[in-house]
Structure 1
Amino acid sequence: MTLLEQVQEKSKEIHTDGYPMSIGELASIYKDGELDIHPDFQRIFRWNDVQKSKLIESILLGIPIPSIFVSQRENGIWDVVDGLQRLSTIFEFMEILKDENGNNLPGSTLVSTPHLDKLAGFKWNNPNKQFEIDSSLKLEIKRVKIDVKIVKKQSDKNVKFELFQRINTLGSRLSDQEVRNCLLIMINKEFYHWLKSISNNENFLNTISLADRLIEEQYHIELALRYFIYKNIELSEIKGVTDLSEFITDKMIKYAEDTTFDKDKEKAIFEGTFAILNKILGEDVFKRYVKANDKFQGKFLLSLFETISIGVGKNIEKGSLLDETEILNSIKKIWESTDFLTKYGSGVNVTSRLPVLIPLGEKMFSNEA
């Protein structure tokens, strides 16, 4: 197949449309439930009062607003793929924004902006009429048009996920896991809440001992996701992986869509793994062991997480886990393993690292001869 033929073939999978819509029209279809901006995303996308007020300032001054992208479901409802924060800001200001339970959120209060310092204190509706947006300005806001790009329902089902990933990773506005969280909400909201709940397990959080910044970027959720992926994959699946982030995302989508994925069983093994590790070593478990002074020190090491947690988890699943004293001794002995020492560095790629570390951990924490 030539490049031209491939372009022509792939283009058949994507059907798009687009036209300008007024803010009033968008507000109307949102209130009617025909536009889904996923309230769950509000925890991930968060503008401050200055950013929100600048958007309203732009609308009032006639500064063009970037296009929003939506994906059409089979039932005709539009999923917002890009533009969520802009629409959320507008709807919040207009006092029609709803939370995940369908309850109206309080309307926002504007702050002073570079060109409209008089905006400070104004609301869409205000008991203090002095600080309520004038009815003529409300009409102007409702009549402002925003270009809407539509991925139609005839398109391949993965197009909207691909579009969302590209929009939200090319500009590095979100971490990889923040993008994955949004994809999960669109694919299987129940699976998202399951994964999020598990990643907040107290024993797990204590053992990984991440900085606040990494928690904010949802890295603890990524680590929990990696745990399930690495524990369940065949090692042959790792070979040939050139983009680990894409591999994790693809596996996540597969699990989220797989009705046979046993969430109760996986949760029990996960909780058992980190309850044992937290009891034995707590926040030291994934740190370097220094034999000379018999101490664990330094920062969290991903290679140790891959070796220890997966090894313990696999042996819990098989019923072949060592006792606590032997687990501690095995953790220390990892630092005597040539296989580990040649594969644990940050410069070792995943296709070389995991096929060695996963079997190593499984063997070291097994009570089978």
Structure 2
Amino acid sequence: MIRSTLPSGVKTLQKWYANGQLVFDNAIQRSSGQWGILQKSLLIHSILAGYPIPPVFLLKYKNDDATIYDCIEGKQRLLNTFSFMSWEYALHGGTPDVELDGEVYEIAGRSFDELSDELKDIISGYRYSISVIEDATEEEVEDIFYRLNSPTPLTQIQRSRSVMGTELARWTRDILEKDFFTKAICLTQAQWRREGDLEVLLQTMLLLDNRSENYEYKAISNTEVLKYCSHIRGRFSPEKRVVIEELFDYLSGAFSDKCKFLKKSAVPMVAVIGKLALENSITPEQYRGFIDSFANTVNEEYEANKGNGNVKRVKTEGRLLAMADDFGQYFNISNLVVIGGSAESEDANEAED
């Protein structure tokens, strides 16, 4: 592994990003959109006021004789700087003033084009402290990412990318680009920032592995999902991936627009029962009809297993069994198998977001 520095300003980096030389698609990275407007604004203020800013780490490699820089740390800082320079947001109303050479500049509420030329030049020419890494193995990159983020409040779900491994993390990212996740599910802004879409995908995979091979779990909490990611690293077969891909293609067909029922706690239930629908040749349109019907009626068993502690296994399976029972009655199908073996204890007590 070789480490060097990169003496390039923000404007140059932005050009590299535009032409594909600087990329942000490393699978272990957090998704974009993690920062709120105040956090973005304070970054711009830090650049202008000369406050210290953490360094950026780039992975350097060759691709068809072109030099590529893949960001493994600093994605939010760089992308939010680029987006400000592209007039995509105005600074928060609480952004402090900036003093330069005895002159005070008010920048709160202003977009890049509304700043003075002097301030624009400072931002465009700003040089992040950039470390470049070459000839690193995937394992070394994962370890670097984990160590860099050890003091940072990465959620367990965000940590799951490095735990499951780069190759599998890249595959899950592709699954999350399907319409079911991008158009249909209803997450809060906070849940999106914490990558709730990845969380519900991993919960679904865990539950399907329990159903097909009796994978043992105590809950579908973040802690248990992280254990599951360690379990599937290097062993989630191509055949199992096809099953997941086909399921979420099916669900994307069933839910082509926003569905209010698809809140975070309901998504894994709908996905697992969707696997039953797929196995029983129920069309996507018919399955959507069932979910709409289920959402508009009161299933007392399902409701009893919602609320506090709903990630526990007993409550998770209570909801699954209740929905499966209604599904069987709705389509006149019997002998449905929706869960696998039972755990001996259920001591996980995390509450669902």
TM-score, normalised via structure 2 length: 0.60
Closer/same/farther in 2, CA of residues 198 and 192 from structure 1, 3 Å limit:
closer
Alignment partner of 1:197 is 2:199: no
Instruction: Give the stretch that moved more between structures: 179-188 or 136-145.
Output: 179-188
SS in 1 for 2:35: coil
Alignment partner of 1:62 is 2:43: no
Instruction: Give the stretch that moved more between structures: 22-31 or 77-86.
Output: 22-31
The corresponding residue for 2:259 is: none
Alignment partner of 1:119 is 2:126: no
The corresponding residue for 1:224 is: 201
The corresponding residue for 2:85 is: 94
The corresponding residue for 1:157 is: 138
Of 35, 59, 63, the match for 2:22:
35
SS in 2 for 1:89: helix
Of 343, 346, 351, the match for 1:344:
346
Contact 1:199 1:224 in 2 (8 A): no
Gaps of 5+ in 1: 1-13, 96-105, 126-130, 290-295, 315-321, 332-338, 349-369
For 1:287-322, what per-residue CA distance to the aligned partner results, in whole angstroms no more than 9, with x for missing partners?
A: 657xxxxxx8865242135545788999xxxxxxx9
The corresponding residue for 2:75 is: 84
TM-score, normalised via structure 1 length: 0.58
Contact 1:273 1:313 in 2 (8 A): no
Contact 2:107 2:115 in 1 (8 A): no
SS in 2 for 1:261: helix
Contact 1:69 1:80 in 2 (8 A): yes
The corresponding residue for 1:353 is: none
For 1:212-238, what per-residue CA distance to the aligned partner results, in whole angstroms no more than 9, with x for missing partners?
A: 865763446424322323433655888
For 1:84-120, what per-residue CA distance to the aligned partner results, in whole angstroms no more than 9, with x for missing partners?
A: 221122111221xxxxxxxxxx433234533436113
For 2:157, give the aligned amino acid.
Q
Instruction: Give the stretch that moved more between structures: 175-184 or 59-68.
Output: 175-184
Q: Which has the higher helix share?
A: 1
Closer/same/farther in 2, CA of residues 78 and 283 from structure 1, 3 Å limit:
farther
The aligned runs of 1:112-151 (5 Å cut-off) are 113-116=95-98, 118-125=106-113, 131-134=114-117, 136-151=118-133
Contact 1:229 1:251 in 2 (8 A): no
Of 240, 248, 251, the match for 2:228:
248
C-alpha displacement of 1:156? 1.1
The aligned runs of 1:161-310 (5 Å cut-off) are 161-168=142-149, 170-172=151-153, 174-180=154-160, 187-188=170-171, 189-194=173-178, 197=180, 217-219=194-196, 221-232=198-209, 234=213, 244-250=224-230, 254=234, 258=238, 261-262=241-242, 263-267=244-248, 270=272, 271-273=274-276, 279=294, 285=301, 288=304, 300-304=310-314, 307=317
Alignment partner of 1:53 is 2:55: no
Higher radius of gyration, 1 or 2? 1
Gaps of 5+ in 2: 99-104, 218-222, 251-270, 278-286, 325-330
Higher relative contact order (Cα pairs below 8 Å, separated by 6+ residues): 2
Paired with 1:325 and 1:237, the residues of 2 have a C-alpha distance of 25
Identity score, percent: 17
SS in 2 for 1:93: helix
The corresponding residue for 1:358 is: none
SS in 1 for 2:116: coil
SS in 1 for 2:57: strand
For 1:32-75, what per-residue CA distance to the aligned partner results, in whole angstroms no more than 9, with x for missing partners?
A: 22111359966541231x32232222222222321011223442
For 1:156, give the aligned amino acid.
T
Closer/same/farther in 2, CA of residues 55 and 146 from structure 1, 3 Å limit:
same
Contact 1:123 1:133 in 2 (8 A): no
Across the aligned residues of Structure 1 and Structure 2, the Cα RMSD in angstroms comes to 4.9
Closer/same/farther in 2, CA of residues 84 and 309 from structure 1, 3 Å limit:
same
Paired with 2:95 and 2:78, the residues of 1 have a C-alpha distance of 19
